[in-house]
Amino acid sequence: MKKKHLSAREAALLALESVLEEGAYVNLALAKVLSGHALDERDRRLVAEITYGVVTYKLTLDWIIMQLTGRPADKLDRPVLLVLYIGLYQLFYLDKIPAPAAVHTSVELIKKTKKRALAGFVNGVLRGALRRKNNLPWPDKKEENTAEYLSLRYAHPLWMVKRWLDRLGPEETEKLLAANNMAPPVTIRVNTLRTDRESLLSRLAAEGVEAEASGITPEAIIIKSSPGLGSLASYKDGLFQVQGESAILASRILAPAPGSRVLDMCSAPGGKTTHLAALMQNRGEIVALDIYPHRLELVKANARRLGAAIITTVLLDGREITPGQYGLFNYILLDAPCTCLGVIRRKPDIKWRRREKEIGILAALQKELLERAAAVLAPDGVLVYSTCTNEPEETTEQIDSFLERHPEFTSSPFTVSLPPTRRQQSVYGGIQLYPHVHGVDGFFLARLRKAGR
């Protein structure tokens, strides 16, 4: 069936309707719109830029609309609000789009909706934005207003900003907020079951992909530009997996030996699971758990594509596994459910979905999963606990509490090479990664060893 052609702004409007009205995840909404409509590569990039940009800066755009219209954003008709988001994002955050073009395309966009009669209103608001762009009453940066200023300037919920200010101070918090609003690099992991990094780099170059080797892990490649990774023959041939560098580190830190028994307690969609199989040279056994059947199907699909033959998927809550079911494991990876506040730069909608009370709820779940991991880990076994967040209740405090409850466990050292120094460093216990410090997703990684008999 022939795909319908849309302009970039029309496509962005469709994606934003899914995200902001129907609660869809931004990456899935965008993928659905892009796959279902005909757009050239330049327009596809602009659709992604506008969609992610609006979701990233939603709080600030709401405030700008209040200043310009005198009414709260949520009181506007939905099509009008979404079109204003698209226009204002271009005016305030996209220098490469000429201001007259941003205004004109927004007015034309509202004319294609059921609210076409409000084209004059949209035009007036956006022209008012041009006049007042440099004279809006932003809160100042005085100490008593620091949280409000940072929340508005960097579009993060106030509760989140206050937590980070208490822990990191104003300078580090501002750097973290700024990093969260920057588009992250796309990274892939070489599937060493089928190729090596140098060979894959050559193959990618032949496919029109600009890429370079990562200095953090030997399997990682940073993509500079690409016509679309999922459409490449090298992807379909199972030569690589799209995966962040922090996530790649989790499996490398576990470092399971070939021939061992491994448990991946929260495995979907299978990036880390298939990496474990590669590290084990497809020798041994990996039991991969998840609680959602459709997500386990993703694990199976990735395992087939990558040739990871030692993975057995099991529909089971990790809190329910017992030694009597599957025996004991030499290695366990617990990539635990968490607030995901370390990957905001990849998933900006997380900022608006999360509530502060969820930190405690998820910390309780993580504790239960750790207790089960302790019960099914063999003597002298290794457990890696990872979360893509930087909240102490889910990271350092979680592990400190676990070690107090389980004297049979001790911190197990590992080595990493991270920016900004890129020097190899020894880590005892755990390491907290931050996007503004290390240039990677915000992850916490801890390696623990259980005493032998």
In the set 266, 338, 340, 388, the catalytic residue is 388
User: Are 174 and 154 contacting, i.e. CB atoms less than 8 angstroms apart?
Assistant: yes
Distance CA 340, CA 342 (A): 5
SS (H, E, C) 44-94: HHHHHHHHHHHHHCHHHHHHHHHHHHCCCHHHCCHHHHHHHHHHHHHHHHC
Buried b (16+ CB within 10 A) or exposed e, 117-127: ebbebbbebbe
Concerning whether 388 is annotated as a catalytic residue, the answer is yes
State the catalytic residues. 388
